[in-house]
Structure 1
Amino acid sequence: ITLAGMIMALVVSSFLAKGVLQPIKRLVFASGRWAKGDLDYQVKTTRKDEIAKLAETFNLMASSLKERDDKLKEYTSQQIMKSERLATLGQLAAGVAHEINNPLGGILMYVHLALEDLDEKDILRANLEKAITETTRCKDIVKGLLDFARQTEPKIEQSDVNEILERTLDLVKNQALFQNVKITRSLPSLPKILMDAGQIQQVFANIILNATEAMEGKGELTVAARISHDNEHIEIEFTDTGCGISTENRKKIFDPFFTTKEVGHGLGVGINFI
């Protein structure tokens, strides 16, 4: 009986080693390969039992991880290329802006001097005033290019979002564009948060002006601020009665120099980098 029991134990041990332990070892080995980044490795098995199903599940998991990894690598590569293009574009913008900024200043100065020498009824005054307007517009474009190129370091400090919103609205509400726009505020008391107040104010101003222009100077603009549901963030919402942003343009609104405005009415820089 003892000998028969020993033989039976050896048979069972051999079966367990071949039927259970070896497949598990293959799964452990595969897990090690995947942990090292070799997600192409697949567990091979001809079995049709639960261990085979486990191996199939492992293979599917590895394939899913590889697919996600490939997408992440592609996205990262695209972002790096985009950053490099933006850096080159910024250097080019700064160079061009510096080269033409001083001549524009000289042109403005001499046109103003010429305007002072003309009589109020001189027919040339209208032409010189147009020259001043267009040259000033060119300087504004140059300023936008310089702002885009500089990308100054943010000055982070504790600031009140509501104060910044109120200050921004006070700055823009007296413009002619806002005469027929009703501004509604929903600004409950909020805690101060860390931010660059100056740059955030510029973002708010850009959004508010764009919203008002989309309403063609008439309609209702609602500005609201609140704490998020998870109590981790402050949400700021701008709602207007304008035409909205098309689905096609939503993918482009953060691209530098993108604008839907007519030529001469918007450079398309600033909000996406502030």
Structure 2
Amino acid sequence: MPSPASPTDALRRLIGLRWLSIGTMLGVLLFVPWLLDIPLPGAALLPVAVTLIAINGLSMLRAARISAIHPAELFAQLCIELAAWSAFLYFTGGATNPLISLLLPLVAIGAAILPGRWAWLLAVLAVVAYSVLWDFNEQLDIYDSGLAVHWHLAGMWLTFALSAGVIVWYVVRMTAAIRRRDQALAEARESSLRSERIVALGNLAAGAAHELGTPLGTMAIVAGELARNPGLDDDTRADAEILLTQIAHCKTILGGLTLRAGSLRAEGGSTMAADAWLAGIIERWRSQRPHVPLATRIDCGDPAPTLVADTTLEQAIHNLINNAADADPAGIECEAGIDGAELVIRVLDRGPGMPVDEAAPRSPGQGLGIGLLLAGSAAERCGGSIRFAPRPGGGTIATLSLPLANLQP
């Protein structure tokens, strides 16, 4: 896709300006003889406008079919415009015609969109055209010299106003395009930095997974022996069994870490209904943090849409719920449903909430922690987003929005 200030966009703007030139030429042919009683050689001028119309039509077809244009082609387009106006001015008084000032916007536009050498060459050609029209032209028959001076000054004013409007319009659009390009570059740099952080975290996680295998195995053996010790009371034995369950969860997470890292959809992921997928994620979270109450409301319609079980998104939802539980261990809520073409998951807590200067909704990856950084990355890879907003009455609402089209098989 071309950038906002690409040569193809410049060509489209030149096509629009050429329609303005054609309209100006036809307007002169139509109104000057009628309003000013100045005869014009229509037989010589009309072919100039018709030729420009044909060239502009061909340029429109070309602009619609190509994705890259060499600056030399833009230079050629401006030269065509320069030649057309030079021919038009030749038959209407040459340098004495106030419309001669319309050559200046062409030079200004060339300076804005062409490389230096092409822009200078266009300026030289415009000066040469002006100089040639100074001596070589066909003067118009104007019988009243006083009236001619008056209309010449009026034409100079009109040409100046038109030239100023064209230059401002074009430069403003170019400036806006440059701003959009700079913003896109800034967003790309931010995304690149975020991706580098995620890659670094992935390398760190891979090393941690390798190193934690042995201590987790030792912990599992010790916890198993404690759970089988007949001398322990029931409460201690129950705690040992919970510890075994948590160790098993840790080993499962570490075992699937490499599959989850950097994958939009897990290899071999199965398809299931959206409500069943979400219910499974919530139940797995409850098994890991049974002491934090979690109220859920899942309404994905009947029947619920079928999704591909995505482990990276499972981890994202898990991290959002974890974040809320850390902020409010007394109890949190999770709501999920279909909103148009999106699956929307909201996690609500009554924790301390967001700072006043951060109360506006924002994207992840802005100092909210590694878990939410990874959750945001997983959402972005699916074309979704995570936003945070204050909850009325205190607390925070985290909203995960995922396009259904990117989740369905």
TM over 0.5: yes
In structure 1, the residue matched to 2:156 is none
Answering whether residue 279 of structure 2 is matched by residue 166 of structure 1, we say yes
In structure 1, the residue matched to 2:214 is 103
- Deviation (angstroms), 1:86: 2.9
Number of corresponding residues:
237
Contact 1:226 1:234 in 2 (8 A): yes
Answering whether residue 338 of structure 2 is matched by residue 226 of structure 1, we say yes
- Deviation (angstroms), 1:143: 2.9
CA 1:76–1:183: 2 relative to 1, 3 Å: closer
- Deviation (angstroms), 1:52: 1.5
Answering whether residue 94 of structure 2 is matched by residue 13 of structure 1, we say yes
Higher gyration radius (CA): 2
CA offsets 1:82-135 (integer angstroms, 9 cap, x no match): 32343234223312431x22431453256357758977269xx99xx6xx78x9
Contact 1:27 1:55 in 2 (8 A): yes
CA 1:189–1:206: 2 relative to 1, 3 Å: farther
- Deviation (angstroms), 1:54: 1.7
Contact 1:215 1:240 in 2 (8 A): no
Answering whether residue 56 of structure 2 is matched by residue 56 of structure 1, we say no
Larger relative contact order (CA 8 Å, sep ≥ 6): 1
In structure 2, the residue matched to 1:242 is 350
Letter in 1 for 2:189: S
In structure 2, the residue matched to 1:264 is none
CA 1:17–1:91: 2 relative to 1, 3 Å: farther
Mapping of 1:117-136 within 5 angstroms? 120=231, 136=247
In structure 2, the residue matched to 1:44 is none
Answering whether residue 110 of structure 2 is matched by residue 29 of structure 1, we say yes
In structure 1, the residue matched to 2:178 is 66
- Give the TM-score of the pair, scaled to structure 1: 0.59
Looking at structure 2, the residues matched to 110 and 158 of structure 1 have their Cα atoms a distance apart, in angstroms, of 36
- Deviation (angstroms), 1:51: 0.9
CA 1:58–1:252: 2 relative to 1, 3 Å: closer
Aligned residues with identical type, % of pairs = 14
Mapping of 1:181-200 within 5 angstroms? 182-189=295-302, 192=305, 195-200=308-313
- Deviation (angstroms), 1:236: 1.4
Contact 1:101 1:139 in 2 (8 A): no
Looking at structure 2, the residues matched to 211 and 96 of structure 1 have their Cα atoms a distance apart, in angstroms, of 25
CA 1:106–1:57: 2 relative to 1, 3 Å: same
CA 1:57–1:270: 2 relative to 1, 3 Å: closer
- Structure showing the higher helix proportion among its residues: 2
- Deviation (angstroms), 1:59: 1.9
CA 1:148–1:87: 2 relative to 1, 3 Å: farther
Q: Tell me, what secondary structure is at the counterpart of 1:83? A: helix
Answering whether residue 379 of structure 2 is matched by residue 271 of structure 1, we say no
RMSD: 4.9
Looking at structure 2, the residues matched to 161 and 28 of structure 1 have their Cα atoms a distance apart, in angstroms, of 55
Letter in 1 for 2:107: R
Mapping of 1:80-119 within 5 angstroms? 80-98=192-210, 100-108=211-219, 111-112=222-223, 115=226
Looking at structure 2, the residues matched to 27 and 190 of structure 1 have their Cα atoms a distance apart, in angstroms, of 62
In structure 2, the residue matched to 1:177 is 292
Contact 2:94 2:100 in 1 (8 A): no
Unaligned runs of 5+ in 1: 39-46, 260-266
Looking at structure 2, the residues matched to 23 and 78 of structure 1 have their Cα atoms a distance apart, in angstroms, of 41
- Deviation (angstroms), 1:238: 1.9
CA offsets 1:54-89 (integer angstroms, 9 cap, x no match): 212222222222233223223323332332343234
